[in-house]
Amino acid sequence: MMRPERSRRAATGLAGYTLVELIVVISILGILAATMGPRFFDQSAFSQRGYADEIAAALRFAQKAAVISGCPARITLTASGYAGAQQAASGNACNPADTTWTTPLLGADGDAIAGSAPSGTSAAPTGTFQFDAQGRLSSSPGSTLSVGARSISIDAGSGFVQVQ
């Protein structure tokens, strides 16, 4: 048998949550938002991963440009960013006497291969990573780069670049 109070609530459509239940749920949501919110808005892990992928893509592009053109290509990595360059051409061949490396590597969109590091992100070791005409890593400050928690490895014999 139904209690008269219950049947009256159901008949009038007044069924719902009490004020205490609503306050408890809102309090729990507030605590969760205060503890988990900063994790959703911290971009440093994403910036580091993106910059590592960007450097790896630039290294791969330099390696492929060296193979395609037959002229050595390189990526110069500094604390503030990176830039790609290639030896100047002399006719239909490379000019081995060119020590200035003033010819920028141009991407598919026609822009120079270059980028800057996001704030709070650094790469080490810095220096010049040079690929020869066969795509091999001919000179570099090391075969492993560190970008935050990520590492980029370059196989010296094949020029293979991998982000880990």
Q: Could you give phi then psi for residue 134, rounded to 5 degrees?
A: -90, 0
Query: 63 and 11, same structural domain?
Result: no
Query: 139 and 68, same structural domain?
Result: yes
Q: Is pLDDT larger for residue 22 or for residue 95?
A: 22
Burial class (CB in 10 A: 0-12, 13-18, 19+), 126: middle
Query: 57 and 32, same structural domain?
Result: no
Residue keyed to tokens 């910036």: 47
Query: 101 and 75, same structural domain?
Result: yes
Would you say residue 46 has pLDDT above 60? yes
Query: 99 and 81, same structural domain?
Result: yes
Distance CA 73, CA 25 (A): 61
Query: 48 and 12, same structural domain?
Result: no
Query: 148 and 93, same structural domain?
Result: yes
Per-position DSSP letters for 64-92, written without gaps between them: HHHHHHSS-EEEEE-SSEEEEEEPPEETT
pLDDT per position as a tens digit, 126-135: 999 999 999 9
pLDDT at 7: 56
Would you tell me how many other CB atoms lie within 10 Å of the CB of residue 153?
A: 14
Distance CA 1, CA 132 (A): 90
**Quick one: tokens of 3?**
């209690």
Q: Average pLDDT of the chain?
A: 89
Query: 89 and 24, same structural domain?
Result: no
pLDDT at 107: 92
Residues 6 or more apart whose CB falls under 8 angstroms from that of 113 comprise 58, 61, 62, 75, 83, 84, 104, 105, 106, 107
The per-type count for the chain, helices as H runs and strands as E runs, is 3, 12
- If one counts the domains in the chain, the total is 2
Domain span at residue 137 reads 44-163
Query: 86 and 14, same structural domain?
Result: no
Distance CA 162, CA 164 (A): 6
Distance CA 29, CA 156 (A): 53
Query: 57 and 9, same structural domain?
Result: no
pLDDT per position as a tens digit, 78-90: 999 999 999 887 8
pTM summary value: 0.76
Query: 74 and 136, same structural domain?
Result: yes
